[in-house]
Structure 1
């Protein structure tokens, strides 16, 4: 969500995945508008060297692995900002970067359950859930905003910058917001639903998805390109 938002705003985004396991097809397409997609096995020195070369030319790197895994891959945020002057590092995790929980795996639904959202949204007999993966989406937009802010700071003050976000922190923020009738779920009629959707067609097929949540008459309201097939591109900058 963060990097597809940055792609919407004009960034050249290259997503890097390991060859195994393969990403879920629909999930890749959902997060892929505006990006290119390449595969690198960082256990191979040639691929690790290719990533280092990419970092030499990067303004921003967005990381989604647990802290210990980042260290094993040579992607510790503090090391990266020391090695690549001017780099902005955006680190996303499920549970944050401090305490024992930081090394636990997690995703939106698990964090909704652990944080108490499932209890708040549920009934007397069963847990509930938000009507969307709100932690993924909200955290992604917040992380994109943090990246643009860090780039602005870099332009004025120089240096390297680190932005850190977690799904658990976003859950805490949502739980702290007022609740009441104004926040009750409301359905959409067909006309409104159609106005909030768009279709992208490319090599990966036809994709129907929600329009970006950020839009302005003075800025972009559509992605420049549809999602590319998973792993279809070379691991190099296009420009």
Structure 2
């Protein structure tokens, strides 16, 4: 089974629709020892198929539009956070304490891009908040990698010991991950079928998510990629963050196209939250499993209060196993699951050519939401879809068959970049990779500054094409 067939099957898609997709292979994109190109192509292709399927459902077309996946567009999209330019300035990707460190028995990787993560890391190590990288390196060089991992994670920070693929497969969390499907899909109740306002296929670009309201409770990077894709397809996406957790400006600009951004204290702003939920169609969360349950945001609580919702969840390690409550990011999942060893050289750990676990999982999450909406239009029911970066990593390392190299020459990303003005400045950005006949070629609007929007929906959802 090809990667695309597997991804589409995991989403519950009709195999017959695969014939509507064509690929433009390109030589030299996302080159790695692992089949990253195949994963990326499959995730974007599955998302395109799901978008085209919903477009056909809403326009009344007998056949879904054709889907085209160009490896060049996919590669640019998977590097979007690196290709972004704000007034000509390159983004800041990783902070000084987000890196690999030698330990007494191997390597550990830490993540400290956010101030609160840096503070927890240094606090766990008994270092002052202004400790330089050299002092951290000296301390870690005398400690065991797993000991560092446990100490930092126990303090709410982010650190993962480097593991070989064999060592990861022997881990209890790996067994839990491997036992789950790539895309977890569940019907939560017997809500009636969803009724969509029809779209006019002749009235401009067809936007299959037009008129839908998506509450975006996600951060870095898979969740925002998913909701950015839903915004491309016409959804009214409102990202909501805690006022005391500002997003990194470059990261917010990259994933904020087509969205609005508000802040809300979910503890004191319960009435505002319930007002948003009362007319929401989709809720997407990207926090640790269970972290938002105390605000009434578990799938079961949401479906009980607001039947007919689609609840989409993404996490690093999955909603199960001993690591279910741990924080994590793409770079750390690569380290734990053996990917960093596989991609390393000369005894030093390496990395994938892009944050492919984040981006790939993001496109699959968007596809799962679109498929859930299509299924609701026939069968009703509140729906839960759930993905995990570690499960995508398992697929990459154990389930994808590499395809022969070849294709058209890859000229670099420039052909898939565009520029626009916006509040953050003059932006150069990667254009969308999801493409189907008659669909949108770009986002309707540039990103807005973090927290600059009111915590309410647009005046009225737009249902037109």
Q: Deviations over 1:32-88 (max 9, x none)?
A: 0000000001121xx121011101100000001112312123211121112211000
Partners of 2:289 and 2:318 within 8 A in 1:
no
Normalising by structure 1, what TM-score?
0.93
Q: Does 1:171 align with 2:363?
A: no
What is residue 349 of structure 2 aligned with on the other side? 127
Aligned mates of 1:66, 1:144 — CA distance in 2: 19
Change in 2 beyond 3 A, CA 1:179/1:126:
farther
Q: Does 1:30 align with 2:254?
A: yes
Partners of 2:317 and 2:324 within 8 A in 1:
yes
Aligned mates of 2:433, 2:338 — CA distance in 1: 26
Query: What SS does the corresponding residue of 1:228 show, helix, strand or coil?
Result: coil
What is residue 226 of structure 1 aligned with on the other side? 446
Partners of 1:108 and 1:136 within 8 A in 2:
yes
Aligned mates of 2:230, 2:290 — CA distance in 1: 26
What is residue 136 of structure 1 aligned with on the other side? 358
1:124 is displaced (CA, Å) by 2.8
Aligned length: 233
Gaps of 5+ in 2: 1-224, 461-465
1:209 is displaced (CA, Å) by 1.6
Q: Deviations over 1:74-114 (max 9, x none)?
A: 21112111221100000111111111211000011001111
Q: Does 1:111 align with 2:333?
A: yes
The partner residue of 1:19 within 220, 224, 243 is 243
Counting only pairs closer than 5 Å after superposition, residues 1-239 of structure 1 correspond to structure 2 as 1-44=225-268, 47-175=269-397, 176-179=399-402, 182=405, 189=411, 192-238=412-458, 239=460
What is residue 53 of structure 2 aligned with on the other side? none
Q: Deviations over 1:191-237 (max 9, x none)?
A: x4211111232122222121112123321110000011100000111
Aligned mates of 2:433, 2:342 — CA distance in 1: 25
Aligned mates of 2:383, 2:423 — CA distance in 1: 36
1:24 is displaced (CA, Å) by 0.4
Aligned mates of 2:275, 2:362 — CA distance in 1: 26
Gaps of 5+ in 1: none
Partners of 1:86 and 1:160 within 8 A in 2:
yes
Q: Deviations over 1:14-35 (max 9, x none)?
A: 0000011211001101110000
Aligned mates of 1:68, 1:155 — CA distance in 2: 29
Greater gyration radius: 2
Segment of structure 1 superposing worse, 59-68 or 141-150: 59-68
Aligned mates of 2:422, 2:356 — CA distance in 1: 27
RMSD of equivalent CA atoms: 1.7
Aligned mates of 1:42, 1:86 — CA distance in 2: 22
Q: Deviations over 1:161-214 (max 9, x none)?
A: 00001111111111122348739xxx954xx42111112321222221211121
Partners of 1:67 and 1:76 within 8 A in 2:
no
Query: What SS does the corresponding residue of 2:277 show, helix, strand or coil?
Result: helix
